[in-house]
Structure 1
């Protein structure tokens, strides 16, 4: 059983005292799960020698200050802003598309939206984010960021347009849109990181939230472009097909990649748990998204050549980065669960089952065959959350709070393990 009191060799914050903190072999399996020796501590021992709950399996009550409750106030605030934004966004769309164009554009936009959201679910499969926060990210992108863009663009144009020395059309496409749109989308990321930091604590989370925000933004923007192809054309079928091919087939991930760079950089900053660094990461991280966005909008007559030589390699690089992040995430999850196994909470075979793709697949197949698939799914997710909780403890972030959460995670694991075994 764990307690919130310091163990021998630790100070009052749960950190190793002077002379402690030697890292065991493989304690740092990847850069994503890196731990400084000063913060390292052994996993709490299962002193009973059996898999007994340390506490009743209830959700932890976290009292670690702003944002520690998982952003419970962020979601209603986001929906309120989205609702207010609709009074600006909907009339704008309907004026430019008409009702028929809006309906057709809405339906057509669901296809690229589905492609991006399925990708988000795939990336987020290892340690899923809370659905309410993902919904917040989507409505921020689809409504709030659109409204912010509409409100800021006239002022930005008035201030920066004359300074740029560009004609208005070129300025609007290559400077104004990238700067204002990426800033508006990234404000959603900043809100998530400041007010729901327990669920935004690494680069994978940053990419997931950024892709979701960008999916929402692109969805609304596609309604405009597809709807205008219907409303403003003498040959709406052909024009819609062309626009859909350019936006829905060739570039459904364009906005996701732009904003994803900001999410990636802010995710690395989130590992430090420092609000000042988070704001700095926001300022720094939005720059590459603006540059990528501007580069995309700047493609002119040689669009196909630039698309193949520049944009396709950028997309492939993004795929490689995401794959790299997922591998790193699995490796440090396995290592953290191994540390709990050494403390008596799992067997070595169970760690392989809980922390490898093949092990999880086989475990779910077996559990479904005996009617315990739901319990096994819950166990797999709980084990992953336990590994991430331990990572936060070893990173020195609000250690007493996460030690309390660790107790409840272990209790949850014990109860779920008993339900699976039967």
Structure 2
């Protein structure tokens, strides 16, 4: 069977030119592939069925069971009233983290099923691993470092090692289970950050509950811990574990199990060191937390945000470059490429579609085109070529259908106004 490309699609699969005032034009009726830089016909295999989705569902069920077990443990430890109160308080830093991660994920949103698994893994499985393995790892450190105080070994050595391994395993699972949706460093940051947000949510319940039980009342001690963990440093765990996601994101773009494994251990090392530094860094400023916070933690957070912005801009440039190849083959116009690869263009397109009730259709069109560009990048990098070639073909068919729906809605509205 010969490989097929854009030029092999029959004419009925393409949309004729229907000019719309003030907006992008659909692909012209010239045969795709006739442009100066045609897209290579790489399709050769049928698309894989949703095995990744099925495995994700099974893993999600398992992670949900783990979360229920951890929740039961916390309820048993804290009591009903404290568990409920501290759970409500823990929603505040969780909401801050999820809003930040949603902002990072706006360019090419990840599947909700994968994000749900990431959260459940962090909130349930990772916490369970930390609770079960933590004491044994602490004993190992006590044996290896007999001269160190428990106050140092626990938070500075044992906790970073156990917690980052527990969280990182969830991110590594997503690399292999949802490989088609793990495209680069931005995706890695989103998945790792979601795992970390889940872990921090459950851990905050435990910390808030401990403060409440120790003081015996809803007072200053609980308020101090809430401000410290929930408002001053809600992104702490997200920052640590994002190092793992970032390393894995760069590795998956080049492919190879050995490269991914190496990137995992490199990112894990960075996460552990960062976590150790965060927990023990006050010793560098004579125990002054606020000096440590404003001199070191705040600049570190600023660097992380700057890095995410740079990664997002790189993803936008990649989208423009890869969609430009399809434009040369006749699947998009240059105006569409500009619209799809810039935030201003997307906002303008959504506003235009909103005039005739097609915002959801336009959102689908943007998501499919972005997914197409990232799939093309994977093919160019030689990663899972057969599967990505099949995905490419499916996306082009979906984009053609979505464009037809959007133009039909626009034409129907225009006729109603005449």
TM-score w.r.t. the length of structure 1 is 0.83
CA deviation string 1:322-362 (max 9, x = no partner): 00010000111011111111111111111111211111101
Q: Which residue of 2 aligns with 1:275?
A: 257
C-alpha deviation, 1:61, in angstroms: 6.0
Higher relative contact order (CA 8 A, sep 6+): 1
Runs of 4+ in 1 over 6 A off after TM superposition: none
Q: Which residue of 2 aligns with 1:128?
A: 109
- Whether the 8 Å contact between 1:62 and 1:69 is mirrored in structure 2 is no
- Report 1:171-190 matches (<5 A): 171-190=153-172
- Whether the 8 Å contact between 1:194 and 1:275 is mirrored in structure 2 is no
The alpha-carbon distance between structure 1 residues 144 and 225, as it changes in their structure 2 partners (threshold 3 A), is same
CA distance, structure 1, for counterparts of residue 219 and residue 288 of structure 2:
25
C-alpha deviation, 1:99, in angstroms: 1.5
Secondary structure, aligned partner of 1:325: helix
Secondary structure, aligned partner of 2:48: coil
CA distance, structure 2, for counterparts of residue 332 and residue 372 of structure 1:
27
CA distance, structure 2, for counterparts of residue 74 and residue 348 of structure 1:
38
Q: Which residue of 2 aligns with 1:108?
A: 89
C-alpha deviation, 1:374, in angstroms: 1.2
Residue from 343, 348, 351 that aligns with 1:362:
348
CA distance, structure 1, for counterparts of residue 92 and residue 114 of structure 2:
22
C-alpha deviation, 1:86, in angstroms: 3.0
Question: Which stretch shifts more, 215-224 or 294-303?
Answer: 294-303
CA distance, structure 1, for counterparts of residue 46 and residue 112 of structure 2:
20
The alpha-carbon distance between structure 1 residues 236 and 274, as it changes in their structure 2 partners (threshold 3 A), is same
Secondary structure, aligned partner of 2:47: coil
- Report 1:251-400 matches (<5 A): 251-298=233-280, 299-300=282-283, 301-400=287-386
Higher helix fraction (1 or 2): 2
Question: Which stretch shifts more, 247-256 or 75-84?
Answer: 75-84
CA deviation string 1:273-298 (max 9, x = no partner): 21122122111211111111111111
The alpha-carbon distance between structure 1 residues 90 and 405, as it changes in their structure 2 partners (threshold 3 A), is closer
Q: What is the number of equivalent residue pairs in this alignment?
A: 370
Q: Structure 2, unaligned stretches of length 5 or more?
A: 6-30, 36-44, 409-418
C-alpha deviation, 1:96, in angstroms: 3.4
C-alpha deviation, 1:402, in angstroms: 1.6
Q: Which residue of 1 aligns with 2:209?
A: 227
CA distance, structure 2, for counterparts of residue 139 and residue 4 of structure 1:
44
Q: Which residue of 2 aligns with 1:410?
A: 396
Residue from 92, 95, 100 that aligns with 1:119:
100
CA deviation string 1:30-77 (max 9, x = no partner): xxxxxxxxxxxxxxx61699xxxxxxxxxx96339xxx8434313322
Q: Which residue of 2 aligns with 1:214?
A: 196
Q: Which residue of 1 aligns with 2:226?
A: 244
CA distance, structure 1, for counterparts of residue 300 and residue 250 of structure 2:
20
C-alpha deviation, 1:310, in angstroms: 1.1
Q: Which residue of 2 aligns with 1:63?
A: 48
CA deviation string 1:177-202 (max 9, x = no partner): 01100110001011111222111121
- Whether the 8 Å contact between 1:70 and 1:199 is mirrored in structure 2 is no
CA distance, structure 2, for counterparts of residue 322 and residue 259 of structure 1:
14
